Chains A and B, each alone.
Chain A
Amino acid sequence: MNKLLIVSLLFSLSVVGARAQSATEATPDGLTARDAFWSASDLVNVAPNPAAKAASASAPAKKQAKTHAVVRHKAAPKEMDSTAGETSNTVLAESHRRGPQIDPQLVTASGYGSEPHLVRVSVTTSAQPFGLRYTLLQRQSGGDYGEVFPETVFHSGDKVKLSVMANQAGYLYIIEQGSSGSWVPLFPAQNAAPESNHVAAGRVYLVPSASDESFQFNQQPGKEHLFILLSREPIADLDQVIFGLQHKTSAPAPTSVAPASASAAPAMLEADNRITDALIERLQSRDLTLVKDTSQQETTDAQYGEKAIYVVNHGKDAASRVFSSLILDHE
C-alpha cells in the first residue's frame, strides 16, 4: 500500500528505568501504559510529533510541562525490578543492568503532552514493556493534520491518517474489518518488501505515508474497525492472525482453561475504550493477557495534552505482540 514515512528529527537521551507488571494487575501508584511506554530503554530518541509542530517548535519544554503538571511531575524515576515486579532499592545500585532512558522533558518538547512518569526497567529487551502509541490524525481546513480522539464521529469526505510509534523495534501490521465482515490487510502492502513494515523505536510512522495520501470516508455511513498489531518478530502468516481475531471476536466465552499448547502463543494486550468487559472476558485465555487501559482514561487532552492511545505488553516472550483495535464511526 504505502511506504512508511519516517519523520526523523531525533533528540537527545538520558537514562532508563525498570518495571514489571502483570498485564492484568492494576497499575501501581497510578502508573499507566503511557508511563510504561516512555520508560523503555530503546526509547532514548523521539521524533517530533507531526501533529504538534507548533508545540514542539515554539513551546519550551518547561512551559509545556507546567501546563500539564496536573498529574505528572519530575519525581525521580521509580525503581522497579522487572523480574520481581516490585520496587527494589538494590536494583538502583546495579546501574550496569540498566539502559538509557528518555528525558521526560524531551517527550513534552517533542509534542507528546505532559512529562511521563518514568520507571526503571531491565536492559533485557524482552523484559521491558513492549508498547505502541498511536493517534488518529484528521486533516484540518488548512491542510495540516491534527490529532483527534478516536471516538470522533466522522463525516463523508473527512480525511485521516494514522500516526504510530513503537517504544522498541518491531513489525507493524494494520488490518481493517469492513462492515461486510471481510478483512483487509492494509499495511504492509501485500507485495511489499519483507522489511518494509519494520519500525524503529521512537520514530513516527504515518499510514498512509505520502503527504498527498490519506484515508477518506466515503458516502456510506457505518463503522470501520481497525486492528493495529506490533510484533517483535515478523509474522510469517498474517492470515492465521486474522483467523484468530475472527475466532476471538466471535467465539463464546471460554468455559474451561485453554489447552497447554496455547501458552506458546505470544502474549497480547489490547487497549480500546470501546472494548466491553464481556469482550475482554471472551478474549482472555492463557495465551492472552489484557489490560483495559483506555484512551479516554489515559490520554485525555486536559490530563496529558495529547489524544493518543498507548498499549503496552509486559510479556517477557521474545515474540510478544501488542494489539489494539479501533472503531471509527462514520455518519
Chain B
Amino acid sequence: MHALRCTLMIGLSAFACMAQSGATGQVQPQPQKMEVVLEQQVSKTARVVNPQHVFRTGDLVRFRFRSTFDGYLYVTDQTSSGRYLKLFPGTKAGADNRIVRGREYLIPATSGSWFRIDKPAGYETVFFTVTPSRVGERVTPPPPPVLAPPPAQPLPADMLPRCDDGIFRARGECLDDKAGASAISPNEDAPGGDGSGKLTPREIVVIRKTDSSVIAPATDGDAPIIYQFRIAHH
C-alpha cells in the first residue's frame, strides 16, 4: 500500500455494523443514496473533517458510511504501483460485507482501528464499490496476490496536494479541490469489487459537502456503484 496503513488491526472482526443510529424504526422508502463521512482522530477522539482536507503524515483517519439501500460494500485502495489492494472485506476486516439500509458502518470497522497517513505526500485513492449482490457470487476468479509496491517515488511538485484558495473555497482550512469523493471518469481504471475483475459502474451523482459526501446512482439498474475517495496529504 502506498501511504494508507491500517493500524490496530487486532480486533477488526466483522466489518458490519458499528453504530446503528436510526435503524430500529420503520424505514421509509427513500431514493438510493449513500453518505460517506471522513473522520480524523484528534486527541483520542473522532472529529469530522472536510473531505477535501489536506492531511499530514501520521494523521489517523477512518470512514463512516451509511446508505439508504441494502447491498454489499467493497473498499479497495490503489497502490502507487497501480495495483488494487482490497481493504474490505478481508480476513482481518471480516468477510461479512453486507450493508443494511439506515445503518452506519465504520471503515475500519472496530472503534480502535484507523488508517494512518504515511509518506510520501500525495493522494491516496480509495475506491468504494457497492453492488446489489455479492461480487464473489458472480465473479469467480480469485483475487490475484498483491505484490509489494515498488519504492515510493516523490511526486512532482505540481502533483502534490496544495491548499486551494480558488473559487468557492472556504477560508481558514487547507483544502484541496482534487481530494474527496468523485465519480470515476470513463477512461479511468476502476477495481472490481474484490479487487480483481473490472466492473462497469453506473452513472452517479456526487454532492460534496463540508463534512460529508453524498453519492447516488443517476440511473436505475443493477450495475454496481463505484466511486473514488481521494485523501490528500502533505
Interface residues in chain A, defined as those with a beta carbon under 8 Å from any beta carbon in chain B:
1, 176, 178, 180-186, 189-191, 213, 215-220, 224, 239-240, 242-243, 246-247, 250, 328, 330
Taking CB atoms and an 8 Å cut-off, the chain B residues in 202-234 that contact chain A are 203, 205-211, 214, 216, 218
User: Is chain A's binding surface mostly helix, strand, loop or mixed?
Assistant: mixed
Beta-carbon contact of B208 and A182 below 8 Å? yes
| Inter-chain contacts of A218 with B (CB < 8 A) | 164-167, 169, 177
Residue of B168, B181, B218 with most partner-chain A CB within 10 A:
B168
| Inter-chain contacts of A243 with B (CB < 8 A) | 31, 33, 205, 216, 218
The docked-state distance in angstroms from the alpha carbon of A240 to that of B214 is: 11
User: Is chain B's binding surface mostly helix, strand, loop or mixed?
Assistant: loop
The size bracket of the interface on B is: 20 to 34
* B14 adjacent to chain A (CB < 8 Å): no
Beta-carbon contact of B183 and A181 below 8 Å? yes
* B79 adjacent to chain A (CB < 8 Å): no
| A232 smallest CB distance to B (angstroms) | 23
| B105 smallest CB distance to A (angstroms) | 20
6 A–B contacts from the bound complex (CB under 8 Å): A183-B205, A189-B210, A215-B168, A239-B214, A243-B33, A247-B218
The docked-state distance in angstroms from the alpha carbon of A185 to that of B164 is: 17
| A245 smallest CB distance to B (angstroms) | 9
The docked-state distance in angstroms from the alpha carbon of A330 to that of B166 is: 12
Beta-carbon contact of B166 and A219 below 8 Å? yes
Other A-B pairs beyond A213-B171, A250-B218, A328-B167, 12, CB < 8 Å: A182-B181, A189-B210, A191-B210, A191-B211, A215-B167, A217-B166, A218-B164, A218-B166, A218-B167, A220-B166, A239-B33, A239-B214
Beta-carbon contact of A1 and B218 below 8 Å? no
Return the CB mask of B26-69 against A: 1 if under 8 Å, else 0: 00000101000000000000000000000000000000000000
**Which residue on A lies nearest to B207, using beta carbons?**
A183
| B111 smallest CB distance to A (angstroms) | 25
